[in-house]
Amino acid sequence: MELLELTRDALHRLVVLDPGLWQVIGVSLRVSLIALAIVTPIAVAGGFILAMVRFPGRRLLILLVQSLLAFPTVVVGLLLYLLLSRRGPLGAMQWLFTQEAMIAGQVIIAFPVVCAFTLAAVQAADPRLHETARMLGASPLRAAFTLLGEVRFALVAAVLSGFGRVISEVGCALMVGGNIAGLTRNIPTAIALETSRGAFTEGIALGIVLMVIALVVNAVLVLAQGAGQGASNPRAARALWYRG
């Protein structure tokens, strides 16, 4: 019953737009969306190049990207901390315990997700697609954009998967953000703090927000996959892994 009461209180605080809660939500969304905006073009380009271009070391690079999918986020945070600390090589940037550091961490964490999923999507695309574009006179760049357009639903899934990975990660955010109220305290770090203080209402409220975000992301993913299966390259929606 206590849990029900806490949940009711949590919902109430969300509905009445509790400033403390919504500030934390705002930091989370701002940091993750900026990280996503930065990482998406780089990772999509990287995934496309890995799929379409043959060069020495390509297989090793693909193996590295796929290995980084399971890389612990707290280790990313640790490495970034060492780089950004006062004695570190990037200490002069003074990014430690700022949103910029959190964004950098989330870019690093999201990159292998978006890149690997893009690689799989492009490899699953119909091999006639690129040839057809080139035969009709498209330049290599236009043909590349045409291909990416054809697998757009799978790309949406790739980007949303990257978003899902970073919006809820806590390890890196704690290490390089420092969980400073009003500045670097995001949803996962706030949940960790509030719960450790026994402030379960805040923890539950933020947990509900994270669950809603996860539900919305997954709903869009399902819609994107469904739309992708209706398109002329159905394999792009289903194949989410590099097949070698």
Identify residue 234 by its one-letter amino acid code: P
**Which one among 16, 135, 214, 215 touches other proteins, defined by CB under 8 A?**
135
Q: Does 144 bind other proteins (CB under 8 A)?
A: no
Q: Does 138 bind other proteins (CB under 8 A)?
A: yes
Binding mask 54-93 for other proteins (x = CB under 8 A): ----------------------------------------
Binding mask 211-230 for other proteins (x = CB under 8 A): -------------------x
Nearer to other proteins, 93 or 231 (CB): 231
Strand, helix or coil for residue 218: helix
Integer Cα distance of 143 and 123 in angstroms: 15
Helices assigned H by DSSP within the chain: 2-15, 19-52, 58-68, 73-84, 99-124, 127-135, 140-150, 152-167, 171-177, 187-196, 200-230, 235-238
Q: Does 139 bind other proteins (CB under 8 A)?
A: yes
**Which one among 36, 65, 115, 133 touches other proteins, defined by CB under 8 A?**
133
Q: Does 137 bind other proteins (CB under 8 A)?
A: yes
Contact 186, 177 (CB under 8 A): yes
| Shortest separation between residue 129's beta carbon and other proteins, angstroms | 6
Nearer to other proteins, 150 or 169 (CB): 150
Q: What is the DSSP letter of 180?
A: -
φ, ψ for residue 194, nearest 5 deg = -60, -40
* Residues in CB range of 180: below 8 A, 6 or more apart: 97
Residues in contact with other proteins by CB under 8 A are 126, 128-129, 131-139, 142, 146, 150, 230-233
